[in-house]
Structure 1
Amino acid sequence: MSYELIAFFMFATMMFMLFTGQRVFGAIGGVAAIAAITLWGTGGSDIPFAAAMKVMKWYPMLTLPLFIFMGYILSESKIAEDLYKMFHVWMGPINGGLAIGTIGLMVLISAMNGLSVAGMAIGATIALPELLRRGYDKRMVTGVVQAGSSLGILVPPSVVLVLYAMIARQPVGQLWLAGVVPGLMMATMFVIYIYIRCRMQPELGPALPKEEMEKYTKAEKRKLLLAGILPLVIFFTMMIPFVKGWTSLVESSAIGATTAFLAAVLKGRMTRKVFENSVRNTLAISCMFMWIVLAALGFGAVFDGLGAVKAIEGLFTEELGLSPWTILILMQLSFILMGTFLDDTAMLVIVAPLYVPLVHGLGFDLIWYGVLYTITTQIAYMTPPFGYNLFLMRAMAPKEITMPDIYASIIPFVLVMTLALALIMIFPNIAMWLPNYVYGK
């Protein structure tokens, strides 16, 4: 049996196991371990062992638990609720203002956590019930929460971009900076869409009554504004020393986690329950990521040993005669397909051993491609009928929001995200300008 056929059989077996509901790390790592031992005998066991050592020695991996801990501290201590109150008061007087404020909330939550699941949980439990109570259209606001939460894997400190950096062997700082402008651009496009639609159809997002807004004094409004500034202070306290080169990535993540902890303590919200929940959730999520990365490195090592990447590159470029841009678009479409049953991290670890070397061989920038991958996975797991985020929203949303509502709610936002993706593909400098400027390229 040729090595190309073995590689295809490995990939098909892994996908079959995932379709049958096996755990991601078990499907990927199990196939890699069995293939290694079958091909190279007992010596093949060195491959997963070497992958484990690589994970243990990769110093930036320490950032994952620190960033996740920071996000959970801010969430569990209700600092996120303070943010929503600020947007409620300052954005409420305009049509669609609370929905626009929800997008702002999601951007700040993304800057505090780096995980889309955290934004989804906060949006569904804090923002969504309030928007429904205020008479907002249930389909529009359901789409707002889903689209806004997707920014968590693009805006720094994105945990997914940290994992991509490890697998693609690219600088985390450059990837984070590359995600800033596209993330803010996409958030702005969401805001513009909401504003225009609510101006055309005011019943979708009614403004708050003047009588209610008059209840808040100027002093109370300023106090709420300060509550909204706190997460930004935490974010810049962490990011500025890193971008300036004063601290390493791990040191910056430790600064962020410590600052968030102190903020909760100073606000009198660091209870035993808050601390315990934050630590437990951090441990669970961090261990999940570690196992998945370990499995991915083992799988990638076997693939490299088989020469599968070179074979696939030859198939596309020599035998089929496809252009680099055609191959890149086909890759993006494959993410859309996989997003119907996998989350962003699983997609990354499955395709990275194949796609990253291929993208590099085709002459594309891997920093730029990291942004494309991230946006495409955002689109993928919000696309009907089986997008990952759709079912996550159904589990969190109130009973009056049905599955057809969730499907319909996301369509305009997916179109906006597709437009953003096309703009970044056509104009790469949207993503590359900031890292090139900061790092002097």
Structure 2
Amino acid sequence: MSYEMIAIFMFATMMAMLLTGQRVFGAIGFVAVIAALALWGDRGGYDIAFSSAMKLMKWYPLLTLPMFIFMGYVLSESKIADDLYKMFHVWMGGLRGGLAIGTIGLMVLISAMNGLSVAGMAIGATIALPELLKRNYDKRMVTGVIQAGSSLGILVPPSVVLVLYAMIARQPVGQLWLAGVVPGLIMAAMFIIYIYIRCRLNPSLGPALTPEERAMPMGEKLALLRAGLLPLGIFAAMMVPFVNGWTSLVESSAIGAITAFLAAVLKGRMTREVFETSVRMTLGISCMFMWIILAALAFGAVFDGLGAVNAIKSLFTEQLGLDPWVILILMQLSFILMGTFLDDTAMLVIVAPLYVPLVKALGFDLIWYGVLYTITTQIAYMTPPFGYNLFLMRAMAPPEITLRDIYASILPFVMVMTAALALIMSFPEIALWLPGYVYGN
């Protein structure tokens, strides 16, 4: 059997195992180890898995993973996110669609606190959605807003998924995070512009709150503003030293975790239950990501040994004569297809051994491609009929919001995200300018 056929057989076996409901890391790691044993015998097969484990344990930036996850859960479980929404409610409620725009702002800040899109979805569905529906906002509008806003979770730093991409693609985490800042803010701005225009044209979609509903003494408003800006202060305390080169990435993550913990303590919200929940969730998610990275490294090592990347590059560029940009677009479309039944982490782990070396061989920047990956997978998450986020939203939404409403709600935002993706593909400097400026200095 040729090496190309072995690579195809590995992918087919892995996909079959995933379709049977096996855990992602179990399916990928199993296929990698069995293929290594079959190809190189007992010694070579065991060495691949062992060396991948050692490589994972020696990767110093991996220490950022539990730090940022802990920071996000402390801020979430201590209800500091509730203060954020109250701030947007009071200060932006008088604008048509103001609460929906404030929800996007909330999602940006939640992303900066947590780095997981699922966390943004959960907070938006539990905090913002009931308030928006109570204020007579259109149910299709608001469900689309929450799903679209949660997509910023893996783009705006500290993105946990970009840490995973950095490990697999062997790229600096700091540069990837900085590369996600401007595209993330641009996409958030595009969401806000869309909401504002829609609500100006059709005020019934997002009616402004009456002065009576927003009535509050100025002193209380300013106090609420200070409370709502607390997460910004935590984010600044973490990122400013890192951007200026005063601290390393791992040190900055520790600063963020400690600052979030102290903020919860000073506000009197660091109870035993909050601490225990935050630690347990941090441990669970960190271990999950470590197992996934370990499986991906083993799978990628087998692919490198097979030389499958060079064979596929030769197939596309020499035998089929495809332009590198056409190949890149086809790769992005494959994410849309996989997003109908896989989450963003699984998509990355499955295709990274093939796509990342192929992107590099085609002459594209891997930092820029990391941003494209995150945006494309979130589009895939929200694309009917089987987008992962659609069913997650249905599970969290009240009974009056049907699956049909959720499908209809997301289509305009998918179009906005596709426009943002096309913009960043056409102008790579949007993603590469900030990391180039910071690291160039």
| TM-score band, normalised by shorter chain | over 0.9
CA displacement at 1:243 relative to structure 2:
1.1
CA displacement at 1:164 relative to structure 2:
0.8
Partner residue in 2 for 1:109: 110
Runs of at least 5 residues in structure 1 that lack an aligned partner in the other structure: none
CA displacement at 1:211 relative to structure 2:
1.3
CA displacement at 1:37 relative to structure 2:
0.9
Partner residue in 2 for 1:420: 420
Distance between the aligned counterparts of 1:196 and 1:169, measured in 2? 42
Distance between the aligned counterparts of 1:279 and 1:209, measured in 2? 42
Partner residue in 1 for 2:140: 139
- Of stretches 253-262 and 400-409 in structure 1, the one that deviates more from structure 2 is 400-409
Offset from partner CA, 1:196-221 (integer Å, 9 cap, x none): 0001111111111111222x011111
Distance between the aligned counterparts of 2:21 and 2:408, measured in 1? 27
Partner residue in 2 for 1:248: 248
Partner residue in 2 for 1:219: 219
SS in structure 2 at match of 1:386: coil
SS in structure 1 at match of 2:229: helix
What pairs with 1:12-411 in structure 2 (closer than 5 Å)?
Answer: 12-43=12-43, 44-214=45-215, 216-411=216-411
- Which amino acid in structure 1 is aligned with residue 309 of structure 2? V
- Which amino acid in structure 1 is aligned with residue 94 of structure 2? P
Distance between the aligned counterparts of 1:248 and 1:210, measured in 2? 48
- Which amino acid in structure 1 is aligned with residue 421 of structure 2? L
- Of stretches 401-410 and 103-112 in structure 1, the one that deviates more from structure 2 is 401-410
Offset from partner CA, 1:300-348 (integer Å, 9 cap, x none): 0011111111111111111101010000000000000011111111111
SS in structure 2 at match of 1:439: helix
CA displacement at 1:18 relative to structure 2:
1.2
Distance between the aligned counterparts of 2:213 and 2:37, measured in 1? 69
Distance between the aligned counterparts of 2:112 and 2:170, measured in 1? 23
Q: How many residues align?
A: 440
Q: Which runs of 4+ in 1 moved over 3 A?
A: none
CA displacement at 1:133 relative to structure 2:
0.7
CA displacement at 1:91 relative to structure 2:
0.6
CA displacement at 1:428 relative to structure 2:
0.9
CA displacement at 1:255 relative to structure 2:
0.3
Distance between the aligned counterparts of 1:212 and 1:414, measured in 2? 33
Distance between the aligned counterparts of 2:159 and 2:214, measured in 1? 36
Distance between the aligned counterparts of 1:400 and 1:36, measured in 2? 52
Distance between the aligned counterparts of 2:227 and 2:344, measured in 1? 32
CA displacement at 1:292 relative to structure 2:
0.6
- Which amino acid in structure 1 is aligned with residue 141 of structure 2? M
Distance between the aligned counterparts of 2:435 and 2:57, measured in 1? 28
**Structure 1 length normalisation: TM-score?**
0.99
Distance between the aligned counterparts of 2:32 and 2:65, measured in 1? 25
SS in structure 2 at match of 1:52: helix
CA displacement at 1:246 relative to structure 2:
1.1
CA displacement at 1:19 relative to structure 2:
1.7
Offset from partner CA, 1:147-195 (integer Å, 9 cap, x none): 0011000000001111111111111111111100000000000000000
- Of stretches 267-276 and 389-398 in structure 1, the one that deviates more from structure 2 is 389-398
Distance between the aligned counterparts of 2:405 and 2:288, measured in 1? 31
SS in structure 1 at match of 2:21: coil
SS in structure 2 at match of 1:210: coil
CA displacement at 1:414 relative to structure 2:
0.2
Offset from partner CA, 1:228-261 (integer Å, 9 cap, x none): 2110110010011111111111111000000000
Structure 2 residue 9 is matched with structure 1 residue 9? yes
- Which amino acid in structure 2 is aligned with residue 93 of structure 1? G
- Which amino acid in structure 1 is aligned with residue 375 of structure 2? I
Distance between the aligned counterparts of 1:165 and 1:228, measured in 2? 32
Distance between the aligned counterparts of 2:214 and 2:76, measured in 1? 27
Q: Give aligned-pair identity as a percent.
A: 83
- Of stretches 76-85 and 203-212 in structure 1, the one that deviates more from structure 2 is 203-212
Offset from partner CA, 1:268-297 (integer Å, 9 cap, x none): 000000000101111111111011111000
CA displacement at 1:355 relative to structure 2:
0.7
SS in structure 1 at match of 2:385: coil
**Structure 2 length normalisation: TM-score?**
0.99
SS in structure 2 at match of 1:47: helix
CA displacement at 1:16 relative to structure 2:
1.4
Cα RMSD (Å): 0.8
- Of stretches 79-88 and 49-58 in structure 1, the one that deviates more from structure 2 is 49-58
Distance between the aligned counterparts of 2:21 and 2:386, measured in 1? 14
Distance between the aligned counterparts of 1:137 and 1:210, measured in 2? 21
- Which amino acid in structure 2 is aligned with residue 202 of structure 1? P
Runs of at least 5 residues in structure 2 that lack an aligned partner in the other structure: none
- Which amino acid in structure 2 is aligned with residue 213 of structure 1? R
Distance between the aligned counterparts of 1:394 and 1:18, measured in 2? 23
CA displacement at 1:41 relative to structure 2:
1.4
Distance between the aligned counterparts of 2:26 and 2:405, measured in 1? 34
Offset from partner CA, 1:106-151 (integer Å, 9 cap, x none): 0000000110011000000000011011101111100000000110
Distance between the aligned counterparts of 1:436 and 1:252, measured in 2? 20
Distance between the aligned counterparts of 1:285 and 1:35, measured in 2? 28
SS in structure 1 at match of 2:246: coil
